[in-house]
Structure 1
Amino acid sequence: MSAGKYKPYPEYRDSEVEWLGDFPSNWEVEPSKKVLTLRRELVGTDHASFQLLSLTLRGVITRDISNGEGKIPAEFNSYQIVSPDELIFCLFDIDETPRSIGLSFHEGMITGAYNVYRTSPRYNPNYACFYFLHIDSFKGLKPFYTGLRKVVRADTFGTIKIPIPPLPEQIQIAKFLDYETAKIDELIEKQQELIALLKEKRQAVISHAVTKGLPPEAAQKVGLNPHPPLKDSGIEWLGKVPEHWNVSPLKQHVDTINGFGFSSSHFQDEGVPFIRAGNIKKKSVTQPSIFLPEKIVSAYKRVILKKNDVVISMVGSDPKILESAVGQVGIVPPSLAGAVPNQNVVIMREKGTVLLKSYLFYTLCSSAYRNHLNVFSHKLANQSIISSSLLAAAYFTFPNLKEQKTIVSFLDTEVVKFDSLTAKAKRTVGLLQERRTALISAAVTGKIDVRDWQPPKERKAS
């Protein structure tokens, strides 16, 4: 990161740590064991007096297990006590774990899988949290493997050499970063709120168009009645619909084709792409990592996917997790024409010429259809499932072919607008997150000097 509006330290020296490089001449380098002490005090039978803590992307948070937040362990004997201002490290799966450290503000307990560290009086825990969360200190360390898990042992972690600024500077750096990252986090939150609002509006536009028709202004432009007479659909989540629309079950308009349960013994690294429920994401189908031999697939021509086929998943997570809930809908891209789905994926192909494929797709993306899925899916083990017959049993609204075309044309244009605005907001979030990371990295490694920094004085309201 360029120093920009922040000045560098007046003098630097070689830290003699390859990845750290030059750092302020008044800083020291020491192994982490000099300033961090591993503390493992087990809760034992006294667990009722401690809050249950979790290390998450939001830091260390409390779990209310009485309200179903988090899985209640069979026993707490292996849980360890955590005190305020102690650091919780996740030192396993270090290449994949998105949150490797958190600072606790609570008295509580956490699973023994984590390492709890107390800082020495000359090492500020807030500075330490900023440092370890944003600096890759594990470079060059020899990991320990337990099965497929890549673990850093506590004694190995203790050898990591880290910069130790004078304590007043550590406190000042942490104070500076608390203030500056809070401002950036506020901007990120506003963009994320915008993304959520755009998503909500996009969904509302699709749902209205396929259940009520075009908005009056758009209908008038294409010569449709802007205020058509309505009738009761007889379906609770559809409500009133245009009087001239047909209300009927999907099965009258589509054929459902279940994928096939191919044997895992035939899986290979290349060949015919094998689509599973997890590959249906964000209204499309992602490139799979599993393939099947041509000679196996050729016997199942009925399930071979075509370009623009509409597919839907029969398994998923809890309905509250919308991004992975049962009934994810996707359009097969040209690159996956010829792929085959497994038994948890249903292909929906329209019958005859009275239903547009694109209108079917928007119908399946509507809130009304989501309600149908939520009502008729059921839990099995840790998943939600629904049968292909129930997927096609939903009653829906079907205008004539001409009106379907006008609705699809309208939605195609509106969706592009929403997606463009959403993409712009996501790019802004990405840039803000990059700036946040770069600012923290620059401050905790001494690339910028914030010793004289003071928070701006708040302006008095006139």
Structure 2
Amino acid sequence: MKMIDDLTQMDYPQYNSYKDSGVDWLGEIPEEWHTEKGKWLFNKMDRPIREDDGIVTCFRDGEVTLRSNRRTDGFTNALKEHGYQGIRKGDLVIHQMDAFAGAIGVSDSEGKSTPVYSVCVPKKPDQISPHYYMYFMRSMALRGFILSLAKGIRERSTDFRYNDFAKLDLPLPPYNVQIKISKFIESRTTQIDQAITLKQQQIAKLEEYKQIVIQNAVTKGLNPDAPMKDSDVDWIGDIPEHWEVKRLMFVTENFNKKVLGSESKLPYLGMESIESKTGQLSNETSEAEGLASYFKEDQILFGKLRPYLAKVYLTTFEGLCSTEFMVMSVRSEISNTFFKISITI
């Protein structure tokens, strides 16, 4: 938590004076900075490929690397590599079709790529940092600017081609400032990624602990000193001596009433409407098509098609649901909530 607080409360240095960049969407820039069109900063390359070149992929998270460095399956391979081009380490790569989603980065590999990529190198390598412009262009993408620009140029298209990049007015800080900014971003994002990883590990441990607490509570009770007996059920183990084990059919009734969804005004729950494990209603909505199952308040909906998803909902209203749910009424000798938790773990 301290790491996150330190990162979010950081003060960023301010320049002594700023000036209007002359570009509406860019606004003010530091006095010593300039602006320049992309075509005066980068050349578009079209290198021949080499026989032993592997395929380089530009991913939406900004990584540009040999495809084999990420994974070896799940890709569509071209039967013929028409128009493929060479990529070198340090090239700025812009995915024409996915740039709007962040697929812009600096290659860490040498290889070949589809012609859908714009492969760019600085006109003056001692004055232009590809990493700085990678971060700048990805920022534009994640703010939605590239998408709006692409649609403004070609209706119903998200393509962002080199010609679009070439016409853009881009900030041009001094080279040493470009390097400092790039290193700063890399350092901070590394810290943030580490914080995210730590939090994910903590969440996973807490989820595991939560499941243990629930499992123990519904199978062992709340009194740790209660005398126990064998339940004769392997996955349950010992239970308090005064408890019973009963089959599902003896504590529930199957409620099987079908209606035509299009003829009802009752709210409808599809499988996507129930969150796995939590049993909470999601924000996903759908409409009934054909037959649907009717349910009343205080009944249990159990996703029977893929039970491992643990989609279980204790209804709080009258409505309709997908026939992929089993609708059950719980008999009076058992608590609805206890039953819901018991079949969710």
TM-score scaled by length of structure 2? 0.75
2:105 matched residue in structure 1: 102
Structure 1 residue 290 displacement after superposition: 3.5
SS at 1:304's partner residue? Answer: strand
Q: Is the 8 A contact 2:35 2:171 kept in 1?
A: yes
**327, 337, 340: which is aligned to 2:309?**
327
2:131 matched residue in structure 1: 126
**166, 173, 186: which is aligned to 1:158?**
166
1:355 matched residue in structure 2: 334
1:346 matched residue in structure 2: 325
2:146 matched residue in structure 1: 138
The 5-angstrom pairing of residues 415-426 of structure 1 reads none
Residues 63-98 of structure 1 deviation map (CA, whole Å, 9 limit, x = unaligned): 549975433536362665443223343444777x3x
Instruction: Check if 1:281 corresponds to 2:275.
Output: yes
Structure 1 residue 170 displacement after superposition: 0.5
Q: Is the 8 A contact 1:138 1:160 kept in 2?
A: no
1:444 matched residue in structure 2: none
Residues 239-263 of structure 1 deviation map (CA, whole Å, 9 limit, x = unaligned): 6232755555545544556897979
Q: Which amino acid aligns with 2:229?
A: P
Relative contact order higher in (CA < 8 Å, ≥ 6 apart): 1
1:310 matched residue in structure 2: 300
Change (3 A) 1:252 1:56: farther
Residues 178-225 of structure 1 deviation map (CA, whole Å, 9 limit, x = unaligned): 223323332333222222221221122223333x413xxx415xxx61
Structure 1 residue 133 displacement after superposition: 1.9
Distance in 2 between residues matched to 1:39 and 1:312, nearest whole Å: 57
Distance in 1 between residues matched to 2:256 and 2:93, nearest whole Å: 47
TM-score scaled by length of structure 1? 0.58
Structure 1 residue 230 displacement after superposition: 2.9
2:223 matched residue in structure 1: 219
The 5-angstrom pairing of residues 370-449 of structure 1 reads none
Residues 431-461 of structure 1 deviation map (CA, whole Å, 9 limit, x = unaligned): xxxxxxxxxxxxxxxxxxxxxxxxxxxxxxx
Change (3 A) 1:291 1:164: same
Structure 1 residue 140 displacement after superposition: 5.8
Distance in 1 between residues matched to 2:228 and 2:16, nearest whole Å: 75
SS at 1:207's partner residue? Answer: helix
Segment of structure 1 superposing worse, 5-14 or 57-66: 57-66
2:89 matched residue in structure 1: 84
Structure 1 residue 174 displacement after superposition: 1.0
Distance in 2 between residues matched to 1:260 and 1:90, nearest whole Å: 50
1:241 matched residue in structure 2: 238
SS at 1:178's partner residue? Answer: helix
Change (3 A) 1:15 1:262: farther
1:17 matched residue in structure 2: 23
Q: Is the 8 A contact 1:206 1:365 kept in 2?
A: no
**172, 175, 181: which is aligned to 2:180?**
172
Change (3 A) 1:306 1:182: same
Structure 2 runs not aligned, ≥5 long: 1-7
Residues 76-124 of structure 1 deviation map (CA, whole Å, 9 limit, x = unaligned): 62665443223343444777x3x34233212345555554433442321
2:228 matched residue in structure 1: 228
**25, 48, 55: which is aligned to 2:59?**
55
CA RMSD of aligned residues (A): 4.1
The 5-angstrom pairing of residues 201-212 of structure 1 reads 201-210=209-218, 212=219
